[in-house]
Chain A
């Protein structure tokens, strides 16, 4: 009985300190020191929130770089992230990968004569873990660059430079892998004008 009363006291204390004081203090600090990051790294254009640096969004137009496939419902739902959870030998995985590869061949083929399935980087046909992976591999960006250059009537070198500018290298030079942020890259393209 005594340990029950003591437990209840500690439960109340712990809830107050670790459930309220701790997150409130951290939030206060975050809102002052890292306001944009603390609120979801939102990106605004002309006063309108157009997305977050940390969430992929759906791009289907030919003038934009496209993100990786997503298993969320609807795709790229940053309010309900999910894995695809298809096992390594699941026939559905094979179907999805084949369909994604065919779609890429159809889309990029006209701009990349002689494009074959073995030229498609694996990240372009596989779902990400979060369903909102904001990045594509530099190889994937390179594959899409000729289409962008042609559709937007830009020199390929300009597109390649924008890709480099939107590439987050490895942290400290060796942690993680380089990725090209698709939303930032598309925003940079839009800023450049063209169609």
Chain B
């Protein structure tokens, strides 16, 4: 590990706080502003009388679900019909039904799992008016739900948690759109294409013909990173030079991945008047992030068994980054590939700038575990923090048990109902991951998707359901699309998104009704380092222990075998 590599990592952390903190303050203001702007007023008038009224959690959840179902149907239709529609210069045909349904679910759930290669499957219309729209909207849905849950925590004796349409509007117009415009422009300036011309054809220096895919990429890539979506314009995602041309573009994209999730922690602190507590949550998240970097980077720099045994030079220095360069790009080398790997798997983003299938067993165990923790280490926009609330409740509950007091969190008594919701929210998805992996691994239809044989094939399968259930979208990309894997994946995508989402809203609704109890000497303090340790410990003991047996069957065995 070189000084320059560590420098990059530290600079990344500093930039994340320096930009995320003010953005968090801005977001807190954007959501709490009482006055409607003129466009917002027009928008609500268009939606009809009382469309902007306060909702209880059930009504809020129902609106989210109806809205998401509607958008899934539209996205499916666009993909199926793209061959007959406009903005299709390269004459893409309609997408196959099982791929189209998986992709529609994948983008509406903010996952962006891809069973297709963008540049040779999707028309510009589908990319732009279908997938990229979802990159905005699915992100905004997560952000809206988070702010509703936070309102529930902040309010007392109230039946309402806000209005979905207003939260959606403010997430889109005040936060996502301005940031996407800024990031688009920055990326274009670094060389990311933004054009409506079809593929270019070049005559190479040796006289061959080369097809060069391009399109309206920058506008989509900006929002895919900011909205923790991750779906690539190209098949190899952000490893493709057109998506990610140099070190600076790479840094901007990596920062965009964690920016909003990090800012939301600070926003939360302001909205519930517990800034120190928010810093502790941030510290817990950052600690897990740092552990990921500290495991992945040395493992990848050390190189894979095959490369070490091959005899070629994998030592860093003397004009090369060295290490495991399989499915990695020269301009990123090891350090930039590691930060991306950890950030994208912590954040439920899922875009990649290197191939995970080719990472070392210890290296690729990092994203595998990060996903399994439920995407709460920064996590998806909105969904990360509301997922973290489940773990916070469990941590507070455990602390309460230790001192023999009714647990409290931010002045609210945590009782049986909240604990049931938290347990469901925290444990449903990991259980589903293990179940679907087991089904896939004992059926012929499931095994058909495996590309690398042996232990690594098990890890491919585990990763696929880990990624889809937790709405991440990154992949051991060798894992193939069959109608079985696409359909089981679709179930994972939908349940993985909406079960925790509804649970979080129920939690917000439940907390909103409670009175504030004044803190006493027996109240467990959630604004100190003890809480950070407890929170990280709870995450490790719940999700961490659940994945451990599966981990031993996959990366650990693979690591021991060589």
Contact = CB atoms under 8 A, between A and B. Distances in A.
Contacts, number: 392
Given A78-B210, A120-B312, A50 B248 contact: no
B477 A83 contact: yes
Given A55-B212, A122-B322, A176-B336, A79 B67 contact: no
Contacts of B197: 39
A4 B204 CA distance: 53
A119 interface: yes
A142 B36 CA distance: 63
A121 B119 contact: no
Contact of B193 (A37, A77, A168): A37
Contact of B478 (A41, A85, A88, A123): A85
Nearest to A48: B203
Interface residues on B, range: 35 or more
Given A19-B128, A22-B180, A89 B456 contact: yes
Contacts of B189: 33-34, 37
Interface residues of A, number: 106
B472 interface: no
A97 B248 contact: no
Given A81-B236, A81-B240, A128-B327, A3 B196 contact: no
Contacts of B137: 14, 18
A90 B67 contact: no
Given A15-B129, A19-B130, A176-B336, A38 B47 contact: no
B246 A171 contact: yes
Nearest to B355: A83
A128 B329 contact: yes
Contact of A58 (B133, B208, B242, B454): B208
Interface in A74-125: 76-90, 93-94, 97-98, 101, 117-125
A137 B452 CA distance: 28
B206 A79 contact: no
Interface string B317-342: 01111111111111111011000000
Contacts of B333: 176-177
B313 A121 contact: yes
Contact of B8 (A4, A83, A126, A175): A175
Contact of B202 (A51, A88, A125): A51
Contact of A177 (B191, B312, B332): B332
B320 A140 contact: yes
Interface string B174-197: 000100110011001111111111
Contacts of A101: 310-312
Contacts of B242: 40, 52, 54-55, 78
Contacts of B117: 80-82
B558 interface: yes
A156 interface: no
A34 B187 CA distance: 11
A171 B248 contact: yes
A19 B216 CA distance: 11
The 3 lowest CB-CB distance pairs between A and B, nearest first, are A176-B247, A19-B129, A129-B239
Given A23-B194, A30-B218, 17 more contacts: A4-B70, A22-B180, A59-B205, A79-B212, A81-B234, A82-B117, A87-B357, A87-B452, A87-B558, A101-B311, A128-B239, A130-B239, A133-B331, A134-B241, A140-B320, A171-B249, A177-B331
